[in-house]
Amino acid sequence: MEQRLESFLTLCDTMHYGRAAEKLHLSQPAVSKHIQSLENQYGVSLFTYANRRLQKTREGEVLQQYVQTLRYNEEKLMEKPLYFDTSFSGDYLQK
């Protein structure tokens, strides 16, 4: 999965930029840039601070659900590769 999305999910889990960076073996500024990049891409704030505590916005909650689904689907796809039948364009068979 794309590194920015991995950073986003890790930050959702830890709710702390430093701990997320540590888990990802990245610097804290790199995680911050990943989040800023996603926020710019989608035109929303994904996190906010309330009383010096990091919180997900509603948009962050929605994106988290989508990205978790993406991760799940990607993992399932890797578990059982698809075998394509070359006689039918776009069709596939599972073995």
Residues near 12 by beta carbon (within 8 Å), at least 6 away in sequence? 56, 60, 64
Q: How many residues does the chain have?
A: 95
What does each of the 95 residues of the chain score in pLDDT, given as a tens digit?
Answer: 899 999 999 999 999 999 999 999 999 999 999 999 999 999 999 999 999 999 999 999 999 999 999 999 998 888 876 666 655 555 555 55
The pLDDT value given to residue 89:
54
Distance CA 70, CA 66 (A): 6
Please name the residue ranges forming H helices in the chain: 3-14, 17-24, 28-42, 58-79
**CA–CA gap between residue 7 and residue 79 (Å, rounded):** 23
Across the chain, which distance is largest between two alpha carbons, in Å?
61
Q: Per the structure block, which two tokens stand in for 36?
A: 């800023």
Q: What is the pLDDT of residue 78?
A: 83
Q: Which two tokens stand for residue 95?
A: 């073995």
Query: Sign of torsion, CA 17 18 19 23?
Result: positive
